[in-house]
Each structure stands twice: as C-alpha cells, then as structure tokens.
Amino acid sequence: MKKFLLLTYFLSLAVYIGYSQSLILFDSVAGQLVNLANNATVLKSGTTNTGEIIKYIGVKNNTSSSLNVLVKKNYINILPGTLNVFCWGLCFGPEVFVSPDPISIDPGIINVTDFSGHYDPYAVSGISTIRYTFWVDGNTNDSVCFNVNFAAYPLGLDDLNQKTSLSNAFPNPSNYVVSIEYILPSGSQSCQVIIRNILGVIVKQEPVIKTSGKVIFQVYDLSDGIYFYSLVVNGEIAITKKMVIKH
C-alpha cells in the first residue's frame, strides 16, 4: 500500500512538472501588472468611429534560462468587414497568423514592449474574438494563451455631430518635448490628453480646459519606443494616435 501511494505521488509530480508553464501572461489593470490565467478571456472595447482598438499584454519568462518565444493568432469569431493584425517586435500584415521569428526573453523578465493585438472594426458593430498563443520555440506544448473580445459600437448621433480633433504629435519621433493640438466638443466637462506605453499604462497626462489649444509634454524621461496618446472626453477615449520616442 505504501509503495502504491509513493508511486502515485511521483507520478502526480511528474504530471505536474510536465504541464508546468515556462511562460506567464500579465495584463494591465488600473495601471498595475496582474497575472492573467492561461486561456483567460478579456474584453477590449472601442467605437466603430475612432479607428483601431489595441490590446497589450506582457509575457514573462518564468524559467532560469533565456527563452525564444513565438506567437500566433487564431480566429474564434471574426465579423466580416473588420481587419486585425498583431505585433511581436515587428508588426505584421493581416494575412500573417504566426510570427516569422522568435523574440528572446531573459529569465525572470516580463516583456511588455513587443506584443500588441490591433483590431479595426471599419464601422462594423459587434464583437470579434481572437486567441493569441505564445510558445517556446521548439516546444509547442510549452505554451500559454489568452482570448480577446474586441467589442466595437458606434457613438451616439449627438457625439458624432460634435467637432473633436487631435493633431499629430510634433516632433515625431521626439526625444525631449512633444506638442499636441486638440479641439474639444462643446459641453465637454472633463477632458485630458494622456500618453500610454505599449502595454497601455498611462505614463503622462495633462488636463485641458479650453475648447481648443495645445498641450506640451516633456518626454526626455521616457524610454525609447512606441507610445500612444489619446484625447479623453468625459471619461471616454475619443481619439488615439501613435508617437515614437527616440533619444
């Protein structure tokens, strides 16, 4: 009996080790990185009127050795007329489902700069679901995945009739300061321009009061890379654009 129990213990341990994950996913919640369970589903919402919806995710190497990691996308449900791409270091066209080359992640490091999933509803309302799977190069069984419900719905007619704009950042790329011009819709109560890193964490923000004007951000303290800046009107992101910091 004791031998049987001992054998069962070691078999259970072997199964546990065999299914242990070398990779762990992290999501940004309220500006903090939190662990995302394997095969979890997250919601990323936007509107049909303001361009692409972007989802960022962090990938951690949970081992003591460097790992080469690949990523692929699978369609769970895609609305006709929409477009999606993903970035893994480089950004690929909509026809690419598997990243051509792996990215090396050092042991214990969370890579928060290289992955993003991009979905453009092209005025199509509804939800599309895409699964993204990360795996260790050479071992497809050592993988972890998550699903994104990209939800896009139109703004109300009153909102569409309002004049809202956000200029291209200048200069872009920038290394010290960047200026951004804006126009707000009438009746706006709480507005600001925010800058997020590639994971979606807010790194800069500036409230705006006038119905039109310019905000200037000092960006010398930001790391090189891609950032996204948005005009937030009454708690909702109205427009988002991309900028690059390069020192």
Where residue 205 falls among pLDDT bands split at 50, 70, 90? very high
Domains and CATH numbers, the chain: 2-153 (2.60.40.3880), 157-245 (2.60.40.1930)
pLDDT band at 187 (very low <50, low <70, confident <90, very high): low
Closest CA to 192 of 201, 205, 181: 205
Cα separation, 109 vs 46, in Å, equals 30
What is the DSSP annotation of the chain? -HHHHHHHHHHHHHHHHHT--SEEEEEEETTEEEEE-TTEEEEEEEETTS--EEEE-EEEE-SSS-EEEEEEEEEEE--TT-EEEEEESEE--TT--B-SS-EEE-TT-EE-SSEEEEEE-TT--EEEEEEEEEEETTEEEEEEEEEEEEEEEPPPHHHHTS--EEPPPBSSSBSSEEEEEEEPPTT--SEEEEEE-TTS-EEEEEEE-SSEEEEEEE-TTSPSEEEEEEEEETTEEEEEEEEEE--
Given a cut of 80, whether residue 186 has pLDDT beyond it is no
* Pick from 5-19, 20-34, 90-104, 203-217: least confident: 5-19
d(CA 120, CA 191): 24
pLDDT attached to residue 160:
40
| pLDDT on residue 140 | 93
**What's the pLDDT at 172?**
92
Mean pLDDT calculated for residue range 92-110: 95
**pLDDT for residue 219:** 95
What does the pLDDT read at residue 50? 66
pLDDT of residue 1: 52
Query: Is the model's pTM score more than 0.85?
Result: no
Q: Is the pLDDT of residue 208 over 70?
A: yes
Q: What is the predicted pLDDT for the residue at 107?
A: 97
CA-CA distances (angstroms) from residue 72 to 96, 97, 133, 143, 147?
9, 5, 5, 11, 12
Q: Which residue has the tokens 């394997």?
A: 38
Beta-carbon contacts of 109 under 8 Å, excluding residues fewer than 6 positions away, are 60, 61
73-94 confidence digits (pLDDT tens): 999 999 998 999 999 999 998 9
Q: Cβ(49)–Cβ(160) under 8 Å? A: yes
Q: What is the dihedral of CA 44, 45, 51, 53, to 10 degrees?
A: 0
pLDDT surpassing 80 at residue 3: no
Q: pLDDT at residue 7 above 80?
A: no
Q: Mean pLDDT, to the nearest integer, of 145-167?
A: 74
pLDDT (mean) for 204-230: 92
**Rounded Cα–Cα distance for residues 145 and 45 (Å):** 20
Mean local confidence (pLDDT), 199-221: 90
Confidence of residue 15 (pLDDT cuts 50, 70, 90): very low
